[in-house]
Amino acid sequence: MEAEIKDRPAFAHVVVTLGPGESITAEADAMATMAAELELETTLNGGFFSALGKRLFGREPMFINSFTNNTMQEKQVMFSQGIPGDIMSIELNGNSFCLQPGAYLCSTPGVELGLKWAGVKSWISREGLCKLEVSGHGTVWYGAYGGMVEKEVDGEYIVDTSHLVGYDPSLSFNVQLAGGFFSSLFGGEGLVTRLEGRGMAVIQTRSLSGLAGWLNPRLE
Amino acid sequence: MNVEIQHGPGSATATVRLDGGETCVAEGGAMIAMSSDLSVETTTRQREKGGLLSAAKRLLGGESMFLNHFTAGPSGGDLWLSTDLPGDMMSLELGNETLMVQAGSWVACEDGVDLDVSWQGMKSLFGGEGFFWLRLTGPGRVIVNSFGAFYPIEVSGEYVVDTGHIVAFQETMDYSVTKAAGGWMSSILGGEGLVCRFHGPGKVWAQSHCPPTFGRTLGPMLKPRD
């Protein structure tokens, strides 16, 4: 299997070339174009309640699609996200990674998608009630609105609310005011997320709620 | 008519250089800047063609009901065209052929190109959230835009494209709107729904991102309209 992330960072999309017998899993509606000979199978994203939970809390679709190449030639499929932005991939070797709701795009078979409770703190920091924990062996592609920056956290780090894309499960997070009470209220930063521990965090450079917040007062 | 696309693939804009007396037809709202001696004529139809019915068809097509005809003065002139959504733009030279362009992706064309809204019947309605197609017949130059990057596909045999991702395709190709997967459950639940299956040979221009999907993602975050 070959996969290439093209047209980064503004309009990233993943072009996957599947060899004979190979398959790839993707969230519902991620497929933009594909060779006609590929077979598509839709399954529940986990058990029924797990899938339902992912839909309600994880903002992930309830169903996932599996694209399989049952021919003897290489076939291509292209995945993209609904929003403009960057896509990155992570290799899992038995470890796991937490993804924010909506970030997951596609993965190789062998990667499991699990829904985890992220805590009330997460909800307050506008990161959602639940997070998607991907684990197993393989590659996961995830994306966000805007560009993405990787940051190795050692100790503590602050991330603006709704700008977190993914992080090592070893990191814990807390919500706090950006500055003092006055600065938080008027400085426009409000609440921020404080990541603690050692691990990698992925931050998105734009947020959709930021765009919505800019648009809303201008709507008729 | 000379077309130069700048600042692709994210914020593309097209600079059209017209010779003296040449005319460029563009969708309403596309012009962002132009030479002062360009004359603009706004019509609800292409000059000498169509009528109110044609204009109504264009309105249904998602294109502005108004067409702007920009005509250069005797020494020629410049016209800058742009679009609403971020993405790329492309100019195609049509021979004596017809290009089907998704309403919303068409930006402008040379005056001699024939522009018509094509009613594809129920296929189009089911094909994807009410898309209509514009039929552009050359010869002449056509400018289209994409939401995201262009993804040209040379089809030999068959190829499947999610309908919201189609920018344009050659009319000579057969296409059918079908279920993405084998079963109906897969098609509906899998979110892919109905897709367009193209039978080549021919060329399809796809876009990496899909405006309706972006709208569906951003929409719920916006204030409801009264």
Mean pLDDT, consecutive 10-residue segments, chain B of 226 residues? 87 91 88 86 58 58 68 90 88 92 88 76 46 82 93 91 89 81 60 78 93 84 78
Confidence of residue A55 (pLDDT cuts 50, 70, 90): low
Contact A40 B181 (CB under 8 A): yes
Interatomic CA distance for residues B57 and A33, integer angstroms: 29
Q: Is A176 exposed, middle or buried (0-12, 13-18, 19+ CB in 10 A)?
A: middle
Of B8, B5, B38, the closest CA to residue B22 belongs to: B38
CB A171 within 8 A of CB A97: no
**Is A37 in CB contact (< 8 Å) with chain B?**
yes
Contact A78 B151 (CB under 8 A): yes
Chain A residue numbers touching B217 (CB-CB < 8 A) = 82-83, 208
Could you tell me which residues come within 8 angstroms of residue A68 by beta carbon, excluding any fewer than 6 positions away?
A18, A21, A22, A23, A38, A39, A41
Which of A33, A63, A82 is opposite residue B213, by nearest beta carbon?
A82
pTM equals: 0.79
Query: Strand locations in chain A, DSSP E?
Result: 2-6, 13-18, 23-27, 31-35, 39-44, 63-68, 75-80, 87-99, 104-107, 111-117, 130-143, 148-160, 164-167, 172-177, 191-204
**What is the per-residue pLDDT for B48?**
41
Lookup: tokens for A130 = 């639940």
**What is the per-residue pLDDT for B182?**
60
Contact A83 B192 (CB under 8 A): no
Contact A7 B208 (CB under 8 A): yes
On the question of pLDDT at A16 being above 90, the answer is yes
Mutation target among B85, B192, B196, B204 for the A interface, most CBs of A within 10 A:
B192
Top-confidence residue, A128 or A41? A41
- Return the domain boundaries, chain B: 2-215
Confidence of residue A189 (pLDDT cuts 50, 70, 90): low
Of A46, A104, A39, the closest CA to residue A75 belongs to: A39
**What is the per-residue pLDDT for A138?**
95
**Is A154 in CB contact (< 8 Å) with chain B?**
no
**What is the per-residue pLDDT for A192?**
78
**What sign for the dihedral angle of Cα B200, B201, B202, B203?**
positive
On the question of pLDDT at A148 being above 70, the answer is yes
Chain B residue numbers touching A103 (CB-CB < 8 A) = none
**Is B216 in CB contact (< 8 Å) with chain A?**
yes
CB B75 within 8 A of CB B201: no
**What is the per-residue pLDDT for B129?**
46
Nearest Cα residue in chain A from B163:
A32
The one-character DSSP state at B148 is: B
Mutation target among B153, B158, B186 for the A interface, most CBs of A within 10 A:
B186
**What is the per-residue pLDDT for B124?**
47
**pLDDT averaged over chain A?**
84
Pick the CATH number of B2-215 from 3.60.160.10, 3.90.420.10, 3.30.1310.10, 3.40.50.720: 3.60.160.10
Top-confidence residue, A41 or A48? A41
Lowest mean pLDDT among A69-78, A193-202, B128-137, B167-176: B128-137
**What is the per-residue pLDDT for B180?**
67
Question: Average pLDDT of A42-69?
Answer: 73
Of B111, B5, B13, B18, the closest CA to residue B68 belongs to: B111
